[in-house]
Structure 1
Amino acid sequence: MAASPVLRRANCGNGGGAEDYTGLRIASVFIVMATSMFGALFPVVSRRTKWLNVRIPFAVFQVAKYFGSGVIIATAFIHLLDPAISALGSSCLPSSWAEYPYALALCLVSIYMIFLIEVFAFRFGTRMLKKIGMTAVKDGQSIKATPGEGEELESLPQLEKGVPVSPIAQVLGIAVLEFGVLLHSVFVGLTLAVTANFKILFVVIIFHQMFEGLGVGSRLAYMDLPPRYSYVPILGACLYGITTPVGIAAGLGVRASYNPHSTTADIVGGILDAFSSGILIYTGLVELMAHEFVFNKDMIEGPTRNLVFTLGCMLLGAGLMSLLGKWA
C-alpha cells in the first residue's frame, strides 16, 4: 500500500521498518509458503496424479489455467507497473528522476529484451532441430526438420495446436514467466516483513500469492515434456512457493535498518517492478492471450460456448487480481 507524499518525505532514508506483530510476521513466512505452494503445486500434482486426474473434472483445470492467465496480466499492470511508476516518481528521489518516465522506459526495454531473446533462441533451436531431424514450429504449424544444412523445412499437416514440441522452447518460455514472477515475489515478501500496514497487506498477499501461484502452476502443469524433464514443473512450482517466504525472512532480518520508503528502496524496488512488469506483459499478451486464443485453432473454430467460458475465466482472474490492487 502506497504511503502519502508527506509521510514518504518524512521517512526518506530515516529509521527502519515496523517492529509490531513480530510473532505474526514470523508465522507469515510459513503461512504464505503454504498458500503459495498450494496454488502452484495443485495444478501440477493434480495432472500428474492419476487418482486426482480422474476425479477432478477437466473444467477445473481449464478454469485454473485461464483464470491464472488473467491473474498474470493483471499482476503486470496493477501490481508491478503502477508501483514502479509511483516508486520512481517518489519525492524521496533526486529531481532528475522526475525528468523522464523511467519506469515506463524500463518496462519497454524489458519487453524488447525478452522478445529478442525468444526470437534468437527459437531461431537457434530450430536450426539445431533441423540438423538432427526433429520437429519444430513454423507459422503456428508443426513442421518436420530434415537433416541437411541447405534443405528447406517440409510442412506437415497440423495435428495439434501450434504448440512448440521442443522441450527447450517450453522450458525457455516458462523460465521467462517465472523470472518475472520471482523478482516480484521476493520484493513482496520484503515489504510484508517491514510494512506498518501489516494486517491488511498480510491478508491480501495470501490471496495474491495463491492466485498468482495458480497462474504459474497451470502453465507448468500443461508443459508437454519428455520423462527426463519431468522434474521441471515440480521445481518451478517449488521455486515460486519459497520466494515470497524468503523475502519475508530477509525483511525480518534487516527490518531494524531497512526503510521501505527510503531513496534506495524506492530506486531498487521501482527498477525491479518495472523490469518484471515488462516480462509479464510480454508473456501475458503474447504467450498467453495471443497463443491461447488468436492462434489457437480450437478457440477460433471450436464451439462458441468454450470460447466464452475460457474468456470469462481469464477476465475473472484479471478482475479479482485488479481488485486486490486496492489494498496492495
Structure 2
Amino acid sequence: MKSPYVQLDSAGSPSIECGSIDNEVTLLGLRVGSVFIIWACSTAGALFPILSKRSKYLSVPTMVYDFAKYFGSGVIIATAFIHLLAPAIDELTSPCLGIAWTEYPWALAISMGSVFGIFFLELTAFRWGSSKLASIGLQVHDPHGHDLGHSGAHVAHGPELPHMQTDEQELPTKQKDLPVDIITPTLDSQELGVSRERGVLDTAIAQVLGLAILEFGVLFHSVLIGLTLAVDEGFKVLFVVLIFHQTFEGLGLGTRLAFMNLSRPGSNSKLHWIAPAGALIYGISTPIGIGIGLGIRTTYNPGSTSASIVSGVLDSMSSGILLYTGLVELLAHEFLFNPEIHTISNTKLIFASVSMLTGAGLMALLGRWA
C-alpha cells in the first residue's frame, strides 16, 4: 500500500497529501472484472487440494501434495514478513501521522503483541479442551507433538496410546533402553478403538483452532489488499501480481485444509464441510475488499492519517498471527517435532526444504510490486 501520496506543489517541490482526495476512475471495467477473476483464482487455488484429495477420479501423486504443503509454509512466512510487516512499518511511520506514532516502532510492538496473544489464546483453548476431555474420562494428548507426562520425546501428530508408560520400573527389561517413540504396547481391540477416538477428538481441537488462526490472519490481509487494488494508481501491475499472490496463498491454505483429519476411522464425520468452507471463505475475502474499495473509491485515500493507522495496525496484527502460525504450527511441527523427518532420506529432506524456500522466495519476489 502506498503511503502517503506525494505530489508537487506550485513551486515544483514535493508535498505530502494526507487529506481526502478524489481518485481517478480509470479502468473501471477491469477493476470490476478483477473481483471475479481474483475470486476464481483464489477459490481454485484453495479448493483444488481439497477436492483432488477427496475425489475418486483424480489421482494426484503424494509428492505433489508434499510440495504444496511445504511450498505453502514458505508462502505464509514470506507473506508475514514481506507483505504484512514491511507495509505496516511504512504505514505507521507515515509523515501524515503525529509524532506519537513515529517516535516508537509501533508496528513491531503490535506484531509482537499479536504473537503473544495467539500463544495465550491457544494455551487457554487447549487447557479448556483438555479439561473437557478429562471430564468425560479421556486422557489428554498434547496436540503440539510433545509427550506431556514423561521423557519429553516427541510424538508429533499422533496420540499417545493408552497405558503407554515410560517409567523404567513398568517396562520390560529389553524396552528400558529403547526410545519412547518405538515402544508399542499390546492393545486389545476395545483399547485401540478408545485410543483412536481420543486421539481424533484431541487433535481435532488442535487442527480446527490452528487453521482458524491461520485463516483469520490471511483474511485480514486479503481484504486489505483488495481494498488497495480497487483504488491503486498502478492497477495493472498490482492486479497481475495479486492473481499469483492469492493463488499461491490459497494453495498453501487449501493443502493444510485438505489434510485435516476430523473423523475417527469407520465413521461418517459431520465436520467434512469445514475444509471446503474455509477455502470458500478465503476465496471471497479479496473480492470483498475490492468491492468495498470500488464503493468508496471517490473518497478513500490510502495515504490519509486514518487509513494509515487502520491498515498499519491490522497489517501488524496479521503479521504476528502468520509469524506464529508459520514458525510454530508449520515449520516446527513439520520439521523439528515430526519423527518422520528424522528418518527420511536426505533427498526427501532436501525436496521439502527446497519446496519451502521456493514458496518463500516467490512470495518475497512478488513483494517487489505489491
- Fold in common (TM above 0.5): yes
Q: 1:188-208: per-residue Cα shift (whole Å, max 9, x none)?
A: 100000111100100000000
Q: 1:34-92: per-residue Cα shift (whole Å, max 9, x none)?
A: 0000111011111111211xx21111111111101100000000000000000000011
Structure 1: give runs of 5+ residues left out of the alignment: 147-154
Q: 1:231-252: per-residue Cα shift (whole Å, max 9, x none)?
A: 0000000000000001001100
Map of 2:209 onto structure 1: 172
Q: What is the 5 A alignment of 1:66-105?
A: 66-105=70-109
Map of 1:150 onto structure 2: none
TM-score (norm 1): 0.91
- Alignment partner of 1:233: what SS? helix
1:281 aligns with 2:323: yes
* Cα distance between partner residues in 2 of 1:121 and 1:269: 28
Amino acid at match of 1:247: G
Distance 1:299 1:164, change over 3 A: farther
Amino acid at match of 1:119: L
Map of 1:126 onto structure 2: 130
Aligned equivalent of 1:65, options 66, 69, 93: 69
Maintained 8 Å contact 2:3/2:94: no
Aligned-pair Cα RMSD in Å: 2.2
- Alignment partner of 2:160: what SS? strand
TM-score (norm 2): 0.81
* Cα distance between partner residues in 2 of 1:143 and 1:168: 16
The Cα shift of 1:4 comes to: 7.0
1:218 aligns with 2:255: yes
Q: 1:195-222: per-residue Cα shift (whole Å, max 9, x none)?
A: 1110010000000000000111111011
The Cα shift of 1:132 comes to: 2.2
Maintained 8 Å contact 2:2/2:303: no
Aligned equivalent of 1:202, options 195, 215, 239: 239
The Cα shift of 1:145 comes to: 7.2
Map of 1:111 onto structure 2: 115
- Alignment partner of 1:308: what SS? helix
Map of 1:56 onto structure 2: 60
* Cα distance between partner residues in 2 of 1:72 and 1:252: 27
Distance 1:81 1:281, change over 3 A: same
Amino acid at match of 1:38: A
1:234 aligns with 2:276: yes
Map of 1:192 onto structure 2: 229
* Cα distance between partner residues in 2 of 1:33 and 1:133: 45
Amino acid at match of 2:229: L
Q: What is the 5 A alignment of 1:300-311?
A: 300-311=342-353
- Alignment partner of 1:10: what SS? strand
How many residue pairs match? The answer is 317
* Cα distance between partner residues in 2 of 1:181 and 1:78: 14
The Cα shift of 1:305 comes to: 1.3
The Cα shift of 1:166 comes to: 2.8
Greater radius of gyration (CA): 2
The Cα shift of 1:107 comes to: 0.1
Amino acid at match of 1:37: T
Structure 2: give runs of 5+ residues left out of the alignment: 8-13, 147-153, 164-179, 185-195, 264-268
Q: 1:21-42: per-residue Cα shift (whole Å, max 9, x none)?
A: 0000000000000000011101
Maintained 8 Å contact 1:85/1:104: yes
Runs of 4+ in 1 over 6 A off after TM superposition: 155-160
The Cα shift of 1:5 comes to: 6.9
